[in-house]
A and B are shown apart, each in its own frame.
Chain A
């Protein structure tokens, strides 16, 4: 599994990650980010793409 951490002190809710990995990241009705804390290994490329495009570089991924 891949563990997903978003530093919510950094996150500005731009939602760029949503486009790269919509299964994990979503903007809710208030335009705030919501995300799943874990995802299967085969999603690594999408998750890395999401981490790459985060303007605040707030997304951290850990292989478990």
Chain B
């Protein structure tokens, strides 16, 4: 078994950064990627923006460069999902029944969009957005004049709305929330985001939901729970995501909400015991962040696949060298979440965990122009978000620090 590779399930940004991190930390053995998508790792944020409005853009425009450290000793098995894990035998079985033995395993299977919450009756015209293929399919549907209904008002829903409006579509957002981005940014910035969308012709149906669909072969109209009926050529479901952990059922790992890991990104079993040879990174990993508290969370912000991947890479290299990993794991893991969003000419940039806040304070500028908002839980700063004013927002990074001397 000594020749078994470092197996990375999920050919994603998090998987790629893990492999690079392991190489950087001295691991020079074989690496295998097993990915459900047909594509090598690519950058997802442009899928709701540039790629969605630029005909002809595809994998070439969003692919991550493969650095020289990964040119040798790396096997890519793409278009093949993992089906099960036998942690005792250190083997992953893929959907074709092929066994993939490993020395260490990295779980980087990410998320998938939550499905339409009502029966679709097999109607066409219903979209989600997570993968490159999703984006290419949605792009061809966002024709000028198309009636687009977006269910959900999080970042993905809002960015698709902005892109669709730019493409000349007639756009409606249907959301259970009172304002878009309510959970992430609160009612003040959320209200301003709504105002800017409305200025571009987007209609909002808040505190509302989908009751039913009308159509022959494809959706033609949607009926909202409020009774409103909307013309609809394109229905986009953007109401959040679920972790891809079904293949880990029965593996003994705690997958109650993503993969529970310790500060070294090492998986924790249902028995509470750390698995030294199984790691989880990216959106699928659930871990505590001592910058905020000790509650393990899945955090879906863009910089965390990179942060978790680099961190796991160090531990993996040490583990496969036979080193004692405990001091490294005990060193703590406290990445500062960072996220941004482009909608029309509005550039949002944020740090921290704004959605933990119970209080918000406008500290610079004004909402209808450029501004900075601070987010507090009790007396503690937990996040900052700006429209524009990037230098000022960036200057907040140093204000997030570990409580007392936990590291």
Interface residues of A (CB under 8 A from B): 12-16, 18-19, 27, 31, 45, 48, 52-53, 55-57, 60
Task: State A19–B64 Cα separation when bound (angstroms).
Answer: 21
Task: State A14–B397 Cα separation when bound (angstroms).
Answer: 13
Q: How many A-B residue pairs have CB under 8 A?
A: 39
Interface residues of B (CB under 8 A from A): 17, 20, 24, 43, 45-46, 62, 64-65, 67, 302-303, 306, 338, 340, 342, 347, 349, 388-391, 394, 397
Q: Are the C-beta atoms of A15 and B340 separated by less than 8 Å?
A: no
Please pick, from B64, B303, B347, the residue contacting A12 in the complex, using a CB distance under 8 A: B347
Q: Are the C-beta atoms of A14 and B306 separated by less than 8 Å?
A: no
CB-defined contacts of A15 to chain B, threshold 8 Å? 390-391, 394
Q: Are the C-beta atoms of A52 and B67 separated by less than 8 Å?
A: no
Task: State A56–B349 Cα separation when bound (angstroms).
Answer: 13
CB-defined contacts of B62 to chain A, threshold 8 Å? 57
Q: Are the C-beta atoms of B389 and A53 separated by less than 8 Å?
A: no
Q: Are the C-beta atoms of A27 and B394 separated by less than 8 Å?
A: yes
Task: State A55–B391 Cα separation when bound (angstroms).
Answer: 16
State the Cβ distance, A44 to closest chain B Cβ, in Å.
Answer: 10
Task: State A48–B394 Cα separation when bound (angstroms).
Answer: 20
The verdict on A31 contacting B390 (CB below 8 Å), with A12-B347, A14-B349, A16-B338 known, is yes
Please pick, from A45, A53, A56, A57, the residue contacting B303 in the complex, using a CB distance under 8 A: A53
Q: Are the C-beta atoms of A48 and B67 separated by less than 8 Å?
A: yes
Known pairs A14-B347, A14-B349, A31-B390 / 13 extra A-B pairs, C-beta < 8 Å? A12-B340, A14-B340, A16-B303, A18-B394, A27-B394, A31-B388, A31-B391, A52-B306, A53-B303, A53-B306, A53-B338, A55-B302, A56-B46
CB-defined contacts of A60 to chain B, threshold 8 Å? 65
Task: State A45–B314 Cα separation when bound (angstroms).
Answer: 14
CB-defined contacts of B347 to chain A, threshold 8 Å? 12, 14
State the Cβ distance, A52 to closest chain B Cβ, in Å.
Answer: 5
CB-defined contacts of A27 to chain B, threshold 8 Å? 390-391, 394
Question: Could you jot down 22 A-B contacts, CB within 8 Å?
Answer: A14-B340, A14-B390, A15-B390, A15-B391, A16-B303, A16-B338, A18-B394, A19-B394, A27-B390, A27-B391, A27-B394, A31-B388, A31-B390, A31-B391, A48-B67, A52-B306, A53-B303, A55-B302, A55-B340, A56-B46, A57-B64, A60-B65
